[in-house]
Amino acid sequence: SQLAASGDSDSIKVFVRVRPLTQGTGLTTDGDQSLCLTVTSPNTIRLLSKPEPRTFTYDHVADMDTSQDSVFSSVAKNIVESCMNGYNGTIFAYGQTGSGKTFTMLGPSELDNFTDELRGVIPRSFEYLFFLINREVERSAQSKSFLCKCSFIEIYNEQIYDLLDTASASLFLRENIKKGVFVEGAVEKFVNSAAGAYQVLSMGWRNRRVASTSMNRESSRSHAVFTMTLESKESINDVVNIRMSQLNLVDLAGSERQKDTHTEGSRLKEASSINRSLMCLGQVIMALVDVSNGKNRHICYRDSKLTFLLRDSLGGNAKTYIIANVHPGSKCFGETLSTLQFAQRAKLIKNKAVINEDTQGNVR
Amino acid sequence: MASLGSDEWRAVCDKFSNAQNLTDVESRKDPENEPFRSKYKARELLREIYSSLKCFAAGDGEEERDGGEEDVFGQGVSGDSPAGLRAAKLGAVEYYLGVNHVDTEELSAGREHLMNGTKLLERCRVSSDNVSLFIHVRNQLGILWAGLDETETAQGFLETAESIYQRYMKEDGTPPTDMTEYFTTEEKLLTHQERTKRFELAYTHTMYYLAQVYKNLGQNERAATYCHSTLQRQLKLNQFSPMEWALNAATLSQYYITKGHYMEGRHCLSAATVISGLAGEVPSEAAAQESETESERREQLRQKRADIARCWIKYCLNLLQDAKKLLEDNIGELDTDRQEELKGARRREEEEEEKGRKNALLFGSEDTFDSIASLEEKVSCLIPLDFTAARAVFLVGQNYVTQAKDYFQMDGFVTDHIEILQDHSALFRALAFFEEDLERRCKMHKRRVDMLEPICNDLNTQYYLMIRRQLMFELAESYSEMMDLKLTLANRQADTQSLDSHTIKKFNHLCSASTKFFQMFLDSLCSPEGKFPEHLEEEVLRPALVARFRVARLHNRLISSTPSDQLDNLNKSLESYKYVVQYCEAHPEAAVVVETELELSKEMVGLLPLKINRLKARMATNN
């Protein structure tokens, strides 16, 4: 709680994890024994690029032998604690397909077995959260109570689907003056234990896979957002104090699929000859306008659904960790480079300026 | 050259159309695990075509020549000679092979084919038979090199394409052969109209790629010009979807207004509004309830039109704010000398130019041009220099506020709705600057308070922290402005000592309200435990210190009825001034950000204790 209260200025932290080389998994990277990177210190990684190797610095870099428990301790522990104190917290997993995102977040496969040493960040977070809840309830001699709700949605092609209710059509993002941004009509399940939360998660996760076969959607092409809303109620001398916070666990689409402007660098957008319109001209213009700060402007292009939903997690009063998973094999060089670059840029994401320039209060 | 028999030629043509079909149509149905199946098939066909062509050409004993960079309009084989045509055909196959390899992610092979294409063409002069190919190949090379981060190389190819187009249009200009026509039988040749259309489209793409290249090179102004040209050409060639075009034009207007080019900005916005009208009527609510497609269409059209309205709001707002900046003196009031001077200059300009349009790029086809022009007339693009002109801009802005709010309603679009209200408030603020009647000016600020205060109180603190902070600051300033105006008005009638109790009450109320919102802002920086941060984050540093400073001043200005109240207020004031000074001592980086405020705070920290002691002494003697 000390950490949460201190004004630590980096609202976004980045953790890079290098997975071990694959063996017999059927991936194309199997049997590739040459490495394209080395971990040079607990927060630097050297990519063996040509002509010069490049060094990247992050909040934490975990080498192949890092245990699941130590990932949890560095990434999720503080975030879960912050949630108990009323902060919103978000953990993103990012990386190319096969780089170990699911392993890091869930564990080796969808285990229902809670004691497994290899269980991932998510089950451990649930355990820790409910451990803290129970401790608080006990300590407060029942004057404090907690309410936990979970929802699980998937964003595919800028459409939102409810993983807890596969029968529903695509949903809309709305905003409410009291509730903030929310997915209209998304199912919310009450849970009162880590096991309960995990059950909701695995149910949704299964739906995600079902959806990928029946509708020809690949899971790695969608973003999945599991949200746990925590409400605490404390009564002291008839005064009821209510606090709300959210814990978002986000599995981003495989980075090799992401074709948004933020990851593409200097590639030109093409206009195929059959295409009547030059779809992306707007993005080019948008970039021109964005550079010229200070003046009042409106950009007609909406945020992506994911950034809009998690707007509160990108700066402001939220704690955010990005876990960037990379594969060390030299065949993955290109993807690894782009993941590392993305992770570095992520540090620069901040919510827009707090106060408009012209109301900064000049002396009169 | 042993010429191809008509049957053989027909076979080549069939192969070609087959390859085209595989590339454009079939490939979209390829399964996920074999995404390039059709493209590989197309590649085989293209290779076969290539060897047939080569085989027949070989009989001709053609000479290999080292082609240096030559003027493509100067020497070399004439483009429409048999040899030139042969080179063009081979070049075209190389082009299609190149694109095919690029599509299947074999970039270096693709590059080789495309470079072969340019080599073949180097020997030829530009003619109507090969100019289209000249441009297509260079467009592709531009894309390719940009993908390899070799932006300058890309730029070179695209700029060559641009100059070839321009020179061809100047010197020849007949509708050129499309590359597909190299491999069609006589009866399938294109019409002149179709040829022109395809050629112009290829060049539009050159413009579009150049826009991106210039953006990547950081040449924003140039990039904007090319975006503008691209839009203009889309319109002229009737190659656009209205809503998308309109949004692009509206976005471009935002580039212009941030640069202070209001005439261009207004033109883009007028065109955006007119062209968005071509997208058709918004389906009624009833229709939307009937079908999902109609409901989606309704949503899309309404949202995009509301977005364009918001771009208009920004236009009006920036125009007013620029006017204010131009005309204000060092205490933020209207500088009448400057006003007269600018008005004089304006008159002279108008006489000289006779309102003639500068040679700006204009949008519009024959059908839309007049509508765009008449929409432009509804709002000035000149910076308003007096209240009447400012009010006209304000009213246009306010009208767009209403339009935008109609879609972006509070329930469902909290952030957007509030942003529009903030703009509305800012419009009032800018207009108030021009208002000479202080009572009416005060009422304008009251309108700002009325529209923002209830929302600021209702908004969820946690989810809308950033917006609330902005609102708090704006409210604090609005109240403060009202307070100043009330005092000026009262002082015109009497000096401060003899203010009537009603005025004092009013003044104190405004003063406290302003303090309250500054304090609310400061409280929003506290941790959930209520602790004020020891170190202020960069983005809140200036606002936090300014708020503290303003709170200090406000406490000092409160008119107290009893000495003990006054003492209390002075102590509070001193405390806040001290905070600013001490914070800057502990964090030297902060001193630069609040230079003026810090200087004044230091002065007050020196002076206030004297005032406090005097007051204390007076209280002691009176008791």
Query: What's at A304, amino acid-wise?
Result: S
Q: How far is B593 from chain A (nearest CA, A)?
A: 11
User: Measured between alpha carbons, how far is B122 from B228 in angstroms, rounded to an integer?
Assistant: 32
Buried b (16+ CB within 10 A) or exposed e, B153-167: ebbbbbebbbebbee
Highest mean pLDDT among A152-161, B308-317, B528-537: B308-317
At residue A182, what are phi and psi to the nearest 5 degrees?
Answer: -150, 160
- pLDDT average, residue stretch B303-316: 96
**Nearest chain A Cα distance for residue B209, angstroms:** 7
Nearest to B383 by CA among B353, B358, B349, B357: B349
Q: How far apart are CA A29 and CA B523, in angstroms?
A: 53
- Integer Cα distance of A333 and A338 in angstroms: 9
pLDDT given at position A276: 42
Rounded Cα gap, residues B161 and B142, in angstroms = 10
Query: What's the rounded mean pLDDT across residues B354-366?
Result: 63
Of the listed ranges A308-312, B163-167, B277-281, B463-467, the least confidently predicted one is A308-312
Residue with tokens 């990434």: A75
B537-566 average pLDDT score:
91
Taking the Cβ of residue A356 and every Cβ of chain B, the question of whether any pair is shorter than 8 Å is answered with: yes
3-state SS assignment for residue A40: strand
The whole-model pTM stands at 0.86
Closest residue on chain B to A296 (Cα): B314
How many other CB atoms are found less than 10 A from the CB of residue B171?
9
* CB-CB under 8 Å, B231 with A268: no
**Higher confidence at residue A329 or residue B381?**
B381
Nearest to A364 among B24, B248, B331 (CB): B331
- When comparing pLDDT for A145 and A287, which is higher? A145
Give B28-53 pLDDT, tens digit per residue.
887 766 778 898 999 999 999 998 88
Please report residues of B whose CB lies closer than 8 A to that of A295: 257-258, 318
Tell me the pLDDT band of A112, cut-offs 50, 70 and 90. Answer: low
Candidates A288, A341, A357: best to mutate against B (most CBs of B within 10 A) is: A288
Q: Which residue has the tokens 């109570």?
A: A145
Estimate to the nearest angstrom the gap between the alpha carbon of B485 and the chain centroid.
37
Q: Which residues contact B21 (CB under 8 A, 6 or more apart)?
A: none
**How many CB atoms are located within 10 Å of the residue B391 CB?**
16
Asked if A139 reaches chain B (Cβ–Cβ under 8 Å), the answer is no
Q: What is the pLDDT of residue A211?
A: 46
| pLDDT score at A294 | 65
Among A127-141, A208-222, B44-58, B223-237, name the one with the lowest average pLDDT: A208-222
Asked if residue A220 lies in contact with residue A254, where contact means CB atoms within 8 angstroms, the answer is: yes
pLDDT above 90 covers what percent of chain B?
64
Q: What is the mean pLDDT of chain B?
A: 89
Choose among B60, B461, B533, B57: nearest CA to A178.
B461
For residue A129, which of A268, A226, A16 has the smallest C-alpha distance?
A226
Alpha-carbon distance values, A111 to A37, A92, A99, A201 (Å)? 31, 21, 19, 11
Whole-angstrom Cα distance, residue B265 to residue A297?
12
What DSSP state is assigned to residue A328?
-
Chain B: residue whose CA lies nearest to A362: B546
When CB atoms are compared, the residue of B413, B458, B546 closest to A360 is B546
pLDDT above 80: residue A50? no
- Which residue does chain A place closest to B254, by CA atoms? A297
The answer to whether A278 faces chain B, any CB pair under 8 Å, is yes
**Can you state the angle between helices B292-327 and B414-434, rounded to 10 degrees?**
30
- CA geometry: angle at B177 spanning B173 and B178, to 5°? 120
- CA separation for the pair A319, A15 (Å, rounded): 13
Q: Cβ(B223)–Cβ(A288) under 8 Å?
A: yes
Beta strands in B332-465 (DSSP E): none
Contacts of A247 in chain B (CB under 8 A): none
B433 vs B411: CA distance, rounded Å: 33
Residue B62, Cβ neighbours under 10 Å: how many? 13
Residue-wise pLDDT tens digits, B53-106? 887 765 554 444 444 445 667 667 777 788 888 899 999 999 999 999 988 878
Instruction: Identify the three-state secondary structure at position A54.
Output: strand
Closest partner CB to B314 (pick from A296, A361, A362): A296
Q: Among B29-33, B328-332, B333-337, B614-618, where is mean pLDDT lowest?
A: B29-33
Residue A200 distance to chain B (closest CA, Å): 25
Q: How far is B204 from chain A (nearest CA, A)?
A: 10
CB-based contact A277 B241, cutoff 8 Å: yes
Report how far apart, in Å, the C-alpha atoms of A305 and of each of A343, B418, B466 are: 20, 19, 19
Q: Is B311 helix (H, G, I), strand (E, B) or coil?
A: helix
Give me the phi and psi of B4, to 5 degrees please. -70, 135
pLDDT given for residue B272 in this prediction: 96
* Residue A307 confidence (pLDDT): 81
Higher pLDDT, A267 or B55: B55
Asked if A359 lies within 8 A of B474 by C-beta distance, the reply is yes
Spell out the alpha helix ranges (H) of B148-237: 151-171, 192-216, 220-236
Hey, is B228 helix, strand or coil? helix
**What's the rounded Cα separation, in Å, for the pair B380 and B322?**
14
Chain B environment of A173 (Cβ under 8 Å): none
Residue A144 scores a pLDDT above 80: yes
CB A221 within 8 A of CB A253: yes
Sheet holding A37-41, edge to edge: A37-41, A44-47, A54-57
CB pairs under 8 A between A and B: 211
